[in-house]
Amino acid sequence: MAVSGSPVGGSTPPPPPPPPQEQANKLGFTKPISLAGPTTADLHRNAELEKFLVDSGLYESNEESASRQEVLRRLDQIVKSWVKLLTRQRGYTDQMVEDANAVIFTFGSYRLGVHGPGVDIDTLCIGPSYVNREDFFIILHNILAEMEEVTELQPVPDAHVPVMKFKFQGISIDLLYASISILVVPEELDISDGSILHDVDEQTVRSLNGCRVADQILKLVPNVEHFRTTLRCLKFWAKRRGVYSNVTGFLGGVNWAILVARVCQFYPNAIPSMLVSRFFRVYSQWRWPNPVMLCSIEENEPYLPIWDPRRNPRDRFHLMPIITPAYPCMNSSYNVSTSTLRVMMEQFQHGNKICDEIELNKSQWSALFKPYVFFEAYKNYLQVDIVALDADDLLLWRGWVESRLRQLTLKIERDTHGMLQCHPYPHEYADASKPCPHSAFFMGLQRKEGVRGQEGQQFDIRGTVDEFRQEISMYVYWKPGMEIYVSHVRRKQLPAFVFPDGYKRTRMPRHMSHAAEKTRECTTKCYSGSSSSERCIKRKNSHEMVDVKPDKPEKRTSVSPQRLECVSPESCTSKLDGTPQISIECIEGVRPDGSTTKDADRNCEIKSSHRLLGSDTIIEVGDMQINETCFVDSTHDRLKSRDLEVQNEVSLLNQWKNLPLGS
């Protein structure tokens, strides 16, 4: 369906973009890397890619598209009636009641036109100055709660961007609210006008900028349809490879959109099959923390805080800056940590390798989207179990815990001085056999590559886990029955519910110690609390030190980044006195092809600051290059045809000395 940036009530499709050749010198703040168009082989690969996306079910049906439009129309009617009701109750004139209005905008994947079947719709309600956020979370919430069409209503007023989540006629909605400084909201409100940001608080600015950023991205790409297909493809890849989650410390929808848009600017005449390949070629070589920006960062009225490492010391330590194109320009990827950046760089390198093979006709597109086998990639995991009395409580409690898991990653990095690396996995699991609602998240754990540990060396993160649990317990909406348990599990001891169809390796090595087996023995207790309700508590024998012997290196068939494996933490998961000691022993790692290695030379080491700023420059990029020649083709003609593109790219990127922060 056509997606518009105008309000739901009167949407008109945006005008078609100019031809790519015409836009080549207009988009972005640097010249394109290459103006080359597709070859016959590129067109063939593009047809195969689009067929793969369709066969993978990434496009919604016409019926679902019509259902979404109907839900948005109904939601628009509801918020209009809500504002008129408040206007009348507050004693405004009949004319004011008649003129009172609110409008619904879409943003995110729906606005960008890359949403798939079953995904939620990101929406923004804009209302007048006298209808505030409290009215939204109380009065409108109560109106929605009484409607039969609305289910799973979940207000999150304390979020970084306050949101109300619910399902309307089975379609998931994330609804934000922005009260702007005018009395009557026009039906054809221009949300891109900077004056809309006057006299509003920071939360309102963040709410408004979702729509403003989406519109700017669409304006800054040379070919919207090519951008959409490429973005749809990369989002699917990121989910398959376990790196799609802003809350966990990876990248979310807007981050991926900006990264893809920048590649579209680099190669304005490329088609999606070319853009996917160039995406991995560019970002597998990108020198973070150099920022990805679609346009210059400008300072306008009102003078709102923007991402500027010259003035804001905190901005200098962002590891993977991806800057939003709408004023006020901010870093959309501030959640990224050293560990998650390492994981993403490994996945970019893996994707680049597969795309090279596809261009050589040695592989198919399906190989690029092969799911990452997380539970074969590490030998040690941290398991976070979340339980509550009922499904509604679990929905709230799980959301809170998930939003704080990134802090656990950061604390482990801090307390082990970066020696123990975490790989948080953004997928949620549930044990249906438990008598109470349950959810679980996992983190892979390993010693930092290139660092040799002595046999028996231990990492004690008991205090780290206790600190995390204490912070989690400060949840203002906590209820009896909401509990969290953190435990260490080895790969051989992973619960069956994390495997497809409950599959689990049943054969255990003979040399596995009796003590290691006992660490997974647990009982499930349900007891009555003050609320006379049953609480499900998973208790473990966690009072003893876990002494794990190094396993014999195994060859694996999964495709996963090379890493040095190690034994890692065990933490308390019960309310028994004492917490186990945590041990870690360095053993061999695994390359992406499944072979074992002890060589850490190929490790992608990410440093956090590098003194990003000089005294006389804004941001030093130095001799950053996107090396097109790293791809070796056995066909002489193909190499010859690439020479001009390679030379053009290297010469342009060598000129990047100062990235502009201002116009």
Collect all residues with Cβ–Cβ distance below 8 Å to 144 and sequence separation of at least 6: 78, 150, 153, 164, 166
Q: How far apart are CA 628 and CA 640, in angstroms?
A: 13
Query: What is the C-alpha R_g of the chain?
Result: 26
Q: Tell me if 473 is assigned to a ligand binding site.
A: no
Pairing mode, strands 121-127 and 171-179: parallel
DSSP secondary structure code for residue 16 in this structure: P
Q: Tell me if 528 is assigned to a ligand binding site.
A: no
Q: Tell me if 170 is assigned to a ligand binding site.
A: no
- Pick from 336, 394, 399, 390: which is nearest to 157 by CA? 399
Reading the block at residue 398, the tokens are 């799980």
Q: How far apart are CA 332 and CA 251, in angstroms?
A: 9
- Pick from 34, 17, 123, 116: which is nearest to 74 by CA? 123
- Pick from 117, 106, 113: which is nearest to 75 by CA? 106
Q: Tell me if 210 is assigned to a ligand binding site.
A: no
Q: How far apart are CA 147 and CA 151, in angstroms?
A: 8
- Pick from 331, 568, 549: which is nearest to 465 by CA? 568
Reading the block at residue 517, the tokens are 């087996």
Q: Tell me if 250 is assigned to a ligand binding site.
A: no
Q: Tell me if 599 is assigned to a ligand binding site.
A: no
Q: Tell me if 253 is assigned to a ligand binding site.
A: yes
Rounded to the nearest 10 degrees, what angle do helices 253-266 and 272-283 cross at? 100
Q: What is the DSSP string of 229-244?
A: HHHHHHHHHHHHTT-B
Burial class (CB in 10 A: 0-12, 13-18, 19+), 121: buried
Q: Tell me if 267 is assigned to a ligand binding site.
A: no
List the catalytic residues.
Answer: 109, 120, 122, 174, 235, 244
CA atoms within 13 A on the CB side of 525: 10
Q: How far apart are CA 176 and CA 209, in angstroms?
A: 11
Burial class (CB in 10 A: 0-12, 13-18, 19+), 153: middle
Q: Tell me if 540 is assigned to a ligand binding site.
A: no
Q: Tell me if 244 is assigned to a ligand binding site.
A: yes
Q: How far apart are CA 115 and CA 54, in angstroms?
A: 13
For 350-382, give one letter per residue: b (16+ CB within 10 A) or e: bbbbbbbebbeeeeebeebbeebebbbbbbbbb
Q: Tell me if 120 is assigned to a ligand binding site.
A: yes
Give the annotated binding-site residues for Mg(2+).
Answer: 120, 122, 174
Give the annotated binding-site residues.
Answer: 107-109, 120-122, 174, 235, 244, 253-254
Give the annotated binding-site residues for ATP.
Answer: 107-109, 120-122, 174, 235, 244, 253-254
